[in-house]
Chain A
Amino acid sequence: MSGFVVDSTVSSGNSSVAIPTDISGQILDLDEDDDLEVFSKDTTVTDGSSFNASMQTSPASMINQYKFEEDAEDTKDIFVTVDNPESHVTAIETYITYRVVTKTTRSEFDSSEFEVRRRYQDFLWLKGRLEEAHPTLIVHPLPEKFVVKGMVERFNEDFIETRRRALHRFLNKIAEHPIFSSSEDFKIFLTAAPGELTSYKKQGPGFLSRMGETVKAVAAAVRGVRNRPQEFTEMQEYVEAFSQKISSLDKVTQRIVREQKEYLEELKECGPTYALWSQSEEELAEPLKDVAGCVDRCCKETEEQVKNLNDNLIPVLHEYALCTDTLKAVLRRRDNIQADFEAKTEALATKKADRDTESKVLSLAWDSLVGRSPEEVKQQKQQKLKGEIKEMRDDLDKAEDRLEWANNALKSDWTRWQKDMRTDLRSAFVDTAERNVNYYEKCLAVWESFLHSQRTDAEGNGNVDFS
């Protein structure tokens, strides 16, 4: 079976779930009242009535959230598993669903156990919703939609198993995340019956409003950010470098697996050759057969070891390679929010300048033609400008809030992500090293038992000096 080789430049982003996230600020405007409510509540409990209730717009409430996180580790109150892939065939398509089992003691859940079936599309949807709602928080990556090279069939057993594990990790990361785990979308994902989920998915901002926001988003992106704070530039540099390293590690590990497999192919022929030889021999037949047996056992151990690398180390490295795409997107979105703020700041300044100049210039000609007194016209214009400026200032204030919130969210989540990354990669490498030690210990035992049997034979025959 050929290993899955993934081109890590393929984006795992949910670009198909359309809304660009830097306009989420505008959506937030609809929920101003809820902000206050949420602020006063225990921040880990969400208000079930609004699907954006998990939105913390005040930086202060964010701090509360993260303080709580430290205790949360000992009191894990939700357990999610993904297993039992099943194939579904309809007239139009064939697809796989996975069983998602949730066990929880949280009070916002109606029951303590849930079991639903979800397909990959549903996971994509969830990821998209979380990113929309929290543009500068870091969502753990999903396994890729499809593998670019070396894949023949989507429903290959190994592929499904690898995907299942990755989906399991994805949901667990969400469940462990202080903010995502209280997301209404997450709850619906875990608990809704299939029909419910479909209709729930259909809610949300209409197509036209989404289009309008997209245009604004593109404009902001094109403008670019002018005064990016140093720490975010450092973050970006780190992400660049980390991305290279992790991608290298992914490649190196895949190469090791390939070489091991080829080694295994050759080694598999050694045992039988010794066995063949033993058939021509008399005295030597026993030791040759024993050696054949030892080589065969070492082959089995090598096979185990390769499987371990494939199942344990490679998926983790791969996920963190995908993470870097997420990190880059998050940084980009933050930049866009800042660009938007900067643009609005500039626009307001320009408008104010306009107002100041307006008071000096008298456009006499047209106004006299129209038959209005210069004073009247001036008044009207001033009123209009004042209104526009107020609107723009309000807009600007919101943009400033949005930016501050985005920056704080990112900073906190960045810390959390780094900690997580460190834990995950450390344990993956420690695990790998342990398995390698295990592998060598087993092979050692095999050869030592051979030696032992030869020694007892020889001492029995009294003819060989082993000193």
Chain B
Amino acid sequence: QFLGGLGFVMVEKGTSLLKMMEISVAEAEKRTGKNAVNMQETYTVYLIETRPVDAASEGTNPVPDSLWRRYSEFELLRNYLLVTYPFSVVPPLPEKRAEFVWHKLSADNMDPDFVERRRVGLENFLLRVASHPDLSSDKIFYSFLTEENGWKETVFETGFQAKADSRLKALNATFRVKNPDKRFAEMKHYGDELQSVISQLLRVRARAADRLYGVYKVHGNYGRVFSEWSAIEKEMGDGLQSAGHHMDAYAASVDDILEEEEHYADQLKEYLFYADALRAVCRKHELTQYELEMAAQDLTSKKQQREELATGTIRTFSLKGMTSKLFGQETPEQREAKVKMLETQIEEGEELVKERNTECEEFVKSAWVDIERFKEQKDHDLREALISYAIMQISMCKKGIQVWNNAKECFSKM
């Protein structure tokens, strides 16, 4: 059962965490303090409030539990989740720096509008995590919401950083993997396309917003000139003066219009960043598949070596083989020892391949479940976004009709 509430977040009521508590990012505040290199810096902190669900429905309104977190702590949480749940499409954070801005919108991180939009984005992130079937039950996530002090240490203690795959390793796998699951390859490609097209849309939209702003604002000049002109006219004066006021109103209306459009842009941005998370899952699949392939390859070559030793034929080139040819055959005892070693390695190798195979299969299974879930969520959310965009356009048109009808009336009294 999906509910359309809580802004544009699709919340799955069935998950354990949201059954228990309401979560919100209620406020943002500026703080100053000393950073790692002992220099003064200004940063913003966000107030996370949690409250047991039952309390609200009982009619009493207990004070929520709350704590302050800064953006870097959210990032830490997310990195932890990325490493710990590599098969999940982990919800993205709102952007660190303002991008795709049109000129009137500030690109300054300290700008109150930016901070506000970020606050909403962070709340959205928490709600998404809390409604995720796998992520919502994570203990670190829970303590992020409830334990202000010592949370950072707790995260580091999990040793998640050690588990993180190096970028090099991942890149290597991408290039060398032989048989990745087709569906994942397609998903990765889709992720690329999604990122590209949403970036383009955001850029175009920002430029159009800039221009639209100009159109509306120039009409403000009509207001000024009509007012001045009305001063020198007798009969025309009143009509001109009041028409001028409507022109001013028209010019002013663009600020609200564009602010609403920013919400739409934020919805698009979320999925722009989601595309990245999607690709991360696909890359992880490539890595696990590659590691399986490597283990299998290693096993095969060891088996071959054993066979060669057993039959005395050398089919594969090996330095040992060459040197023994040159310097004479090994003693039967030496050969026995080697065979024994190989046998052990083969046994181990087979275990490893089994393990990795299972890993791979499980990964594919879990990941694909989450990808399907993500697909449905994306289709729903983006459709909602398009609908809200249409609603915005309608509202803008209605305002325009009203203003110009009013102006028309005033003009006809000129």
> In the assembled complex, which residues on chain B have CB atoms less than 8 Å from the CB atom of A441?
397, 401
Instruction: Report the Cα distance A291→B391, complex, angstroms.
Output: 12
> In the assembled complex, which residues on chain B have CB atoms less than 8 Å from the CB atom of A294?
390, 393
> In the assembled complex, which residues on chain B have CB atoms less than 8 Å from the CB atom of A454?
383, 386-387, 390
Q: Are B204 and A433 in contact (CB under 8 A)?
A: no
How far does the Cβ of A376 sit from chain B's closest Cβ, in whole Å?
66
Find B408's partner among A291, A430, A444 (CB 8 Å cutoff): A430
Q: State how many residues of chain B have any CB contact under 8 Å with chain A.
A: 55
A270 interface residue per 8 A CB criterion: yes
Binary contact readout A412-442 vs B (1 if CB under 8 angstroms, 0 otherwise):
0000000000100110011001101101110
Q: Are A426 and B379 in contact (CB under 8 A)?
A: no
How far does the Cβ of B263 sit from chain A's closest Cβ, in whole Å?
16
How far does the Cβ of A446 sit from chain B's closest Cβ, in whole Å?
8
CB < 8 Å A-B pair total? 147
How far does the Cβ of A222 sit from chain B's closest Cβ, in whole Å?
31
How far does the Cβ of B340 sit from chain A's closest Cβ, in whole Å?
56
How far does the Cβ of B219 sit from chain A's closest Cβ, in whole Å?
7
Known contacts A294-B390, A433-B408, A444-B398; A277 and B201 CB within 8 A of each other: yes
Q: Are A433 and B404 in contact (CB under 8 A)?
A: yes
> In the assembled complex, which residues on chain B have CB atoms less than 8 Å from the CB atom of A241?
232
**Among listed A41-49, A56-64, A163-171, A251-259, interface-contacting one:** A251-259
How far does the Cβ of B214 sit from chain A's closest Cβ, in whole Å?
4
A232 interface residue per 8 A CB criterion: no
Known contacts A430-B411, A444-B394, A451-B390; A242 and B383 CB within 8 A of each other: no
How far does the Cβ of B379 sit from chain A's closest Cβ, in whole Å?
4
**Among listed B21-29, B189-197, B341-349, interface-contacting one:** B189-197
Binary contact readout B296-316 vs A (1 if CB under 8 angstroms, 0 otherwise):
000000000000000000000
Bin the interface of chain A by size.
Answer: 35 or more
Find A463's partner among B2, B204, B212, B405 (CB 8 Å cutoff): B2
A373 interface residue per 8 A CB criterion: no
**Among listed B63-71, B131-139, B222-230, interface-contacting one:** B222-230
Q: Are A276 and B387 in contact (CB under 8 A)?
A: no
A368 interface residue per 8 A CB criterion: no
> In the assembled complex, which residues on chain B have CB atoms less than 8 Å from the CB atom of A71?
none
Known contacts A238-B232, A465-B4; A266 and B208 CB within 8 A of each other: yes
Give residues 267-283 of A contacting B (CB, 8 Å).
Answer: 267, 269-270, 273-274, 276-277, 280-283
B407 interface residue per 8 A CB criterion: yes
> In the assembled complex, which residues on chain B have CB atoms less than 8 Å from the CB atom of A6?
none
How far does the Cβ of A329 sit from chain B's closest Cβ, in whole Å?
20
Instruction: Report the Cα distance A365→B32, complex, angstroms.
Output: 111
Binary contact readout B193-237 vs A (1 if CB under 8 angstroms, 0 otherwise):
110011011001101101110110011011001001100100110
How far does the Cβ of B206 sit from chain A's closest Cβ, in whole Å?
9
> In the assembled complex, which residues on chain A have CB atoms less than 8 Å from the CB atom of B204?
266, 269-270, 273
Find A263's partner among B214, B222, B400 (CB 8 Å cutoff): B214
Instruction: Report the Cα distance A447→B387, complex, angstroms.
Output: 9
A389 interface residue per 8 A CB criterion: no
Find B212's partner among A246, A263, A436, A444 (CB 8 Å cutoff): A263
Q: Are A436 and B400 in contact (CB under 8 A)?
A: yes
B412 interface residue per 8 A CB criterion: yes
Binary contact readout A296-321 vs B (1 if CB under 8 angstroms, 0 otherwise):
00100000000000000000000000
Q: Are B397 and A280 in contact (CB under 8 A)?
A: no
Find B215's partner among A263, A277, A298, A426 (CB 8 Å cutoff): A263
Give residues 19-45 of A contacting B (CB, 8 Å).
Answer: none
Find A434's partner among B205, B232, B384, B408 (CB 8 Å cutoff): B408
Instruction: Report the Cα distance A78→B239, complex, angstroms.
Output: 33
* 7 interchain pairs, CB-CB under 8 A: A252-B218, A255-B221, A262-B211, A277-B201, A429-B411, A437-B405, A464-B4
User: 9 smallest A-B Cβ distances: which pairs?
Assistant: A433-B408, A263-B211, A440-B400, A444-B397, A266-B208, A245-B229, A426-B414, A429-B411, A436-B404
Q: What 7 new A-B contacts, CB under 8 Å, besides A256-B219, A437-B404?
A: A242-B232, A252-B221, A266-B207, A267-B208, A294-B390, A426-B239, A464-B384
Residues of A within 8 A of B (CB): 238, 241-242, 245-246, 248-249, 252, 255-256, 259-260, 262-263, 265-267, 269-270, 273-274, 276-277, 280-284, 287-288, 291, 294, 298, 422, 425-426, 429-430, 433-434, 436-437, 439-441, 443-444, 447-448, 450-451, 454, 463-465
Residues of B within 8 A of A (CB): 2-4, 190, 193-194, 197-198, 200-201, 204-205, 207-208, 210-212, 214-215, 218-219, 221-222, 225, 228-229, 232, 235-236, 239, 243, 378-380, 382-384, 386-387, 389-391, 393-394, 397-398, 400-401, 404-405, 407-408, 411-412, 414
